[in-house]
């Protein structure tokens, strides 16, 4: 099945080590000291039990942190039974982590003292920095940290947790459940919600992300033996291209689950005002997800549901699900949910269970053992279907209190799960949690199936062949750069390239442009038609929307027809017509759009979609972050609803899809090489059985800012 480890899959590939800050030795070591400290100081630990500092101190003590914990408070002798120190410099030992909970106006002084005391890392809980417009205070804070080599989590955050180190340096109520999920949240409230239902290895509330970012944490958790699954709540990306690079490497061995808010205009408004974060266009986020195997979810609940499964059970070997239980209704709903989520509920052979379970049971799959089924019968049925070749995963549906009751049935499910290497999960009405610490249980069947579908998709991602960088022959990047620079030298703000410059640029990347002759009169048009070969297409040039003004004439079969068409156009369109181009008419093909965009905060995106007049209406489009491998281009095309048109629909000859993929790969390379290309449209690319030919095109260039660090 697709999670097979045979062949060269993502699991086995080695990637070049990523570059950049936080990936080197020293800062990394500082981050490790922050997240797994040997000693902690809590600066601003007051006597008021409702204060954040006090609560951090309590959580550290109650959580059983093994190293020394130092309350720092110049106005108290003792807090929570520990002796206070007047400042961090007065602490009688080295401090790996200082948690800062003093009012905003004191933070910079306290941080300077931490630098003097040789503290390795800071968690600044205090709010009132960039999120309320105090950007300069945050910059000063960061400056001190950078100068001294301290790493900084926050400001404006809830703190950090590391269950392996018994470190709870947050001011949250309640104890975290130890487990194998590392959680990062850009919102305190969402972080708190995530903690409520997830078994965690680490938790970092990053707040304003002044220093330690999601990318830093991803790299840290990539090598953390205690972490099997990484869960992120994001409102913005600091460096999306770096995120992609790091995530692609990690998802080869550990799933990354992500909720990214700010999809909508208003959600976006909320996020911006909330954390002063730069918005990333949502389509770009989805394309990024597709490029690097990150599992994007729409809600915290879905994330919790998927993380619970991925951190406890083996990945499913395929999409085939057996549904076994004591209640037909929820089982039917689970089967419906499978269909919605792209999972398969195969009909099972009758003799698999016949004679082994009660005669009134339905055996086909879903297997409904009826409300009378006791725990032993459920265990037997689960073990039997799990062992069947037809099955990749088993969902056990149990409605209490029927049969043997909740507790005995939970034991039976746990026992059955231990007999198989396949994925087992449960739906137990009204009970959300873990059975035996390793079988995830969900209150509703739809939750279970949604989580399983995510796991199956991730397993497919893992099993895919690694996308190695592919050579793109026939590219003259240097010449292309000259075209772009020439334009920007003349117009520093950029703009649409002339048709000639555009054609030059695209040819540098080996794009297959239709022969096209610019003409300024009817006679020139007729001569050009003879040159490119009849029949031809005549297209107006000038500041008009060609198809709206009758500026495109197809299938002109003789020089006379061309001449007449030109005159006619001139008469209809009038002064706005600056001339026309003559192109050979391509035999009936499929119209595809290939395009590119470069979002300022994000980087390039390649688009492929259906062409023609229906394109606007149907938005049948796929996006990818370059580099776009041939395999990725193929996936883009396969995801289009118009894809069957390319493969010989209703007896037509199959189109030259390989040539189309080649053009998409080349566009990806162009966008990667030339960040000045802000917008690129090949519309349409006509794909005939013989070739994919770019018939119309335009390119806009814009000056490039320095990329973020």
Site residues for its own copies, window 625-684 (CB under 8 A)?
Answer: 641-642, 644-645, 649-651
Applying CB under 8 A, does 275 fall inside the site for its own copies? yes
Rounded CA separation 204/157 (Å):
9
User: Scanning residues 520 to 559, which ones bind its own copies (CB under 8 A)?
Assistant: 547-548
Structure tokens at 27: 């800062």
Rounded CA separation 609/596 (Å):
11
DSSP-derived 3-state class of residue 279: coil
CB of 468 to its own copies, least distance (A): 33
User: Scanning residues 320 to 349, which ones bind its own copies (CB under 8 A)?
Assistant: 323, 326-340, 345, 347
What is the DSSP code string of 435-476?
Answer: ETTTEEEESSHHHHHHHHHHHHHHHHHHHSBP-------S--
CB of 264 to its own copies, least distance (A): 3
CB 440 within 8 A of CB 423: no
**Of 27 and 368, which CB lies nearer to its own copies in the complex structure?**
368
User: Scanning residues 60 to 99, which ones bind its own copies (CB under 8 A)?
Assistant: none
CB of 182 to its own copies, least distance (A): 18
CB of 308 to its own copies, least distance (A): 15
Applying CB under 8 A, does 365 fall inside the site for its own copies? yes
Applying CB under 8 A, does 278 fall inside the site for its own copies? no
Q: 3-state SS of 543-579?
A: CCCHHHHCCEEEEECCHHHHHHHHHHHHHHHHHHCCE
Rounded CA separation 598/605 (Å):
6
Q: How many Cα atoms sit within 13 Å of 377 on the Cβ side?
A: 26
Applying CB under 8 A, does 136 fall inside the site for its own copies? no
Q: Indicate which single residue of 479, 531, 557, 614 sits in contact with its own copies (rule: CB under 8 A).
A: 614
Q: How many Cα atoms sit within 13 Å of 574 on the Cβ side?
A: 0
For 625, which DSSP code?
Answer: P
**Of 105 and 641, which CB lies nearer to its own copies in the complex structure?**
641
Q: Indicate which single residue of 61, 144, 164, 429 sits in contact with its own copies (rule: CB under 8 A).
A: 429
Rounded CA separation 175/192 (Å):
11
Applying CB under 8 A, does 416 fall inside the site for its own copies? no
**Of 5 and 650, which CB lies nearer to its own copies in the complex structure?**
650
CB of 471 to its own copies, least distance (A): 35
Give the dihedral sign, CA 677/682/688/691: negative
Structure tokens at 205: 């509330």
Applying CB under 8 A, does 692 fall inside the site for its own copies? no
Applying CB under 8 A, does 269 fall inside the site for its own copies? yes
CB of 434 to its own copies, least distance (A): 17
How many residues touch its own copies under the rule CB under 8 A: the total is: 84
CB of 637 to its own copies, least distance (A): 14
Under 8 Å CB-to-CB from 269, ≥6 apart: which residues?
A: none
Stretch that binds its own copies, among 68-76, 145-153, 254-262, 560-568 (CB under 8 A): 254-262
Applying CB under 8 A, does 368 fall inside the site for its own copies? yes
User: Scanning residues 446 to 505, which ones bind its own copies (CB under 8 A)?
Assistant: 446-447
For 398, which DSSP code?
Answer: E
For 612, which DSSP code?
Answer: S
Stretch that binds its own copies, among 187-195, 414-422, 563-571, 679-687 (CB under 8 A): 187-195
CB of 450 to its own copies, least distance (A): 10
CB of 546 to its own copies, least distance (A): 11
Tell me the per-residue interface mask from 110 to 129 with its own copies, x by CB under 8 A, - otherwise: -----------------xx-
**Of 36 and 338, which CB lies nearer to its own copies in the complex structure?**
338
**Of 443 and 704, which CB lies nearer to its own copies in the complex structure?**
443
Applying CB under 8 A, does 404 fall inside the site for its own copies? no
CB 226 within 8 A of CB 149: no
**Of 53 and 262, which CB lies nearer to its own copies in the complex structure?**
262
Gyration radius from the chain CA atoms: 31
CB of 442 to its own copies, least distance (A): 10
> What are the E-state strand segments in 74-144?
78-79, 82-83, 97-100, 121-124
Q: Which long-range contacts (CB under 8 A, 24 or more apart) does 135-142 make?
A: 135/276, 137/104, 137/107, 137/108, 138/208, 138/210, 140/108, 141/107, 141/108, 141/111, 141/210, 142/210, 142/211
Q: Indicate which single residue of 193, 466, 488, 501 sits in contact with its own copies (rule: CB under 8 A).
A: 193
User: Scanning residues 288 to 327, which ones bind its own copies (CB under 8 A)?
Assistant: 298-301, 323, 326-327
Applying CB under 8 A, does 618 fall inside the site for its own copies? yes
Applying CB under 8 A, does 170 fall inside the site for its own copies? no
CB of 424 to its own copies, least distance (A): 19
Applying CB under 8 A, does 173 fall inside the site for its own copies? yes
Q: Which long-range contacts (CB under 8 A, 24 or more apart) does 364-367 make?
A: 365/322, 365/323, 366/323, 366/324, 366/325, 366/328, 366/331, 366/332, 366/334, 366/335, 366/397, 367/322, 367/323, 367/324, 367/325, 367/331
């Amino acid at each position: 099945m697709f999670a097979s480890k045979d062949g060269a899959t993502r699991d086995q590939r080695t990637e070049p080590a990523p570059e950049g800050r936080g990936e080197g030795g020293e800062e990394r070591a500082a981050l490790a000291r922050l997240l797994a400290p040997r000693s902690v100081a809590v600066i601003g630990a007051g006597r008021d039990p409702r204060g954040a500092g006090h609560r951090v101190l309590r959580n550290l003590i109650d959580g059983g942190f093994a190293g020394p914990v130092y309350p720092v408070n110049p106005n108290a002798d003792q807090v929570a039974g520990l002796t206070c120190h007047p400042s961090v410099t007065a602490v009688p030992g080295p401090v790996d982590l200082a948690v800062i909970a003093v009012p905003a106006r004191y933070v910079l002084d306290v941080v300077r003292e931490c630098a003097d005391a040789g503290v390795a890392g800071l968690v600044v809980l205090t709010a009132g920095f960039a999120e309320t417009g105090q950007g300069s205070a945050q910059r000063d804070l960061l400056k001190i940290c950078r100068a001294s080599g301290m790493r900084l989590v926050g400001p404006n955050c809830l703190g950090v947790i590391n269950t392996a180190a018994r470190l709870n340096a947050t001011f949250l109520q309640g104890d975290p459940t130890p487990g194998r999920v590392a959680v990062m949240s850009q919102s305190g409230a969402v972080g708190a919600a995530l903690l409520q239902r997830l078994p965690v290895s680490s938790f970092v509330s990053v707040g304003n992300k002044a220093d330690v970012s999601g990318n830093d944490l991803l790299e840290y958790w990539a090598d953390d033996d205690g972490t099997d699954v990484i869960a992120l709540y994001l409102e913005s990306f600091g460096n999306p291209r770096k995120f992609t690079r790091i995530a692609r490497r990690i998802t080869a061995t550990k799933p990354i689950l992500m909720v990214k808010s700010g999809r909508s205009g208003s959600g976006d408004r909320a996020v911006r005002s909330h954390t002063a974060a730069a918005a990333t266009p949502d389509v770009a986020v989805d394309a990024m997800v597709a490029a690097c195997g990150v599992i994007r979810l729409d809600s915290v609940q879905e994330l919790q549901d998927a993380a619970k499964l991925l951190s406890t059970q083996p990945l499913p070997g395929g999409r085939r699900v057996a549904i076994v239980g004591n209640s037909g209704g929820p089982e039917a709903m689970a089967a419906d949910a499978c269909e919605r989520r792209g999972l398969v509920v195969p009909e099972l052979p009758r003799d698999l269970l016949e004679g082994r379970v009660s005669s009134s049971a339905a055996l086909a799959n879903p297997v409904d053992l009826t409300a009378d089924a006791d725990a032993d019968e459920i265990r037997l049925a689960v073990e039997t279907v799990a062992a069947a070749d037809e099955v990749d995963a088993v969902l056990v549906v149990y409605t209490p209190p029927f049969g043997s009751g909740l507790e005995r049935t939970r034991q039976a499910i746990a026992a059955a799960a231990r007999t198989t290497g396949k994925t087992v999960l449960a739906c137990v009405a009204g009970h959300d949690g873990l059975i035996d610490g390793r079988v995830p249980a969900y209150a509703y069947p739809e939750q279970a199936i949604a989580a399983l579908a995510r796991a199956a998709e991730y397993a497919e991602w893992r099993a895919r062949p690694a996308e190695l960088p592919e050579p793109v022959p026939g590219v003259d990047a240097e010449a292309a750069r000259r075209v772009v620079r020439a334009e920007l030298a003349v117009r520093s703000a950029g703009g649409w390239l002339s048709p000639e410059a555009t054609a030059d640029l695209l040819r540098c990347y080996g794009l297959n442009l239709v022969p096209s002759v610019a003409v300024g009169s009817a006679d020139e048009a007729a001569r050009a038609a003879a040159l490119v070969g009849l029949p031809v297409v005549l297209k107006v040039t000038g500041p008009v929307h060609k198809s709206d003004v009758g500026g495109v004439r197809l299938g002109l079969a003789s020089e006379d027809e061309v001449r007449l068409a030109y005159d006619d156009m001139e008469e209809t369109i009038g002064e706005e017509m600056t001339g026309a181009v003559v192109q050979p008419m391509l035999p009936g093909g499929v119209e595809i759009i290939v395009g590119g965009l470069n979002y300022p905060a994000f980087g390039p995106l390649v688009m492929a979609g259906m062409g023609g007049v229906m394109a606007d209406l149907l938005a049948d489009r796929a996006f990818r972050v370059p580099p776009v491998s041939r395999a990725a281009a193929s996936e883009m095309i396969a995801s289009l609803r118009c894809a069957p048109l390319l493969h010989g629909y209703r007896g037509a000859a199959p189109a030259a899809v390989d040539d189309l993929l080649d053009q998409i790969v080349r566009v990806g390379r162009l966008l990667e090489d030339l960040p000045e290309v802000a917008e690129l449209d090949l519309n349409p690319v006509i794909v005939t059985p013989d070739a994919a030919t770019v018939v119309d095109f335009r390119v806009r260039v814009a000056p490039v800012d320095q990329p973020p660090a």
